[in-house]
């Protein structure tokens, strides 16, 4: 877990939840970003003037060259270091494969909740998200809609 950093207090970010065949798309953070080497969902900070959908689409292009359709907002949470997270269900465009941008992402993985739970290298928001699903605080339809 990253050290508590006063510059993170009040920060607002978006997180993409992409589920296919009961597996979540997760990334291993590169050595060049905060919390290097940890596994987390893709996403990042909301820039001035962006809404949640615009921010997550930009972040997924930057991190993974991945085009998505943004679905429902499924959860809000606060990290232990003071960042407010907005969790958005996203669906990747047909035929679009994630490609890691090495300055931000070391590797890309598809993992089940059970596989994630077994890891000891998760960013703190991941077990919090899995707990919220198990406790029924997050409900969503993960079916993939048709994309243009």
Which residue, among 28, 2, 1, 40, has the nearest Cα to 102 in the 3D structure?
28
* pTM for the structure as a whole: 0.89
The pLDDT of residue 145 is: 41
If phi over 0 gives left and psi between -120 and 50 gives alpha, with beta otherwise, what is residue 74?
alpha
Cα separation, 90 vs 73, in Å, equals 9
Q: Check whether 46 has a pLDDT greater than 80.
A: yes
Cα separation, 147 vs 125, in Å, equals 29
Domains located in the chain, CATH noted:
10-134 (3.90.79.10)
> Which pair of structure tokens corresponds to residue 102?
């090495």
Any idea which of 5-14, 56-65, 77-86, 104-113 has the lowest mean pLDDT?
5-14
pLDDT in tens, 53-99: 999 999 999 999 999 999 999 999 999 889 999 999 999 999 999 99
Q: Check whether 1 has a pLDDT greater than 60.
A: no
| Region 6-16 average pLDDT | 78
> Which pair of structure tokens corresponds to residue 59?
């972040």
The pLDDT of residue 139 is: 83
> Which pair of structure tokens corresponds to residue 42?
């893709």
């Amino acid at each position: 877990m990253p050290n508590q950093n006063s510059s993170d207090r009040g920060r607002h970010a978006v997180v993409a939840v992409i589920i296919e065949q009961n597996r979540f798309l997760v990334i291993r953070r590169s050595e060049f970003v905060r919390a290097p080497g940890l596994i987390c969902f893709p996403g990042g900070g909301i820039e001035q003037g962006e809404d949640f959908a615009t921010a997550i689409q930009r972040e997924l292009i930057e991190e993974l060259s991945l085009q998505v359709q943004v679905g429902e907002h499924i959860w809000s949470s606060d990290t232990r270091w003071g960042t407010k997270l907005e969790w958005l269900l996203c669906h990747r465009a047909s035929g679009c494969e994630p490609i890691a941008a090495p300055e931000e992402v070391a590797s890309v993985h598809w993992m089940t909740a059970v596989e994630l739970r077994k890891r000891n290298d998760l960013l703190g928001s991941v077990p919090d998200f899995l707990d919220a699903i198990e406790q029924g605080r997050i409900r969503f339809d993960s079916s993939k809609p048709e994309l243009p």
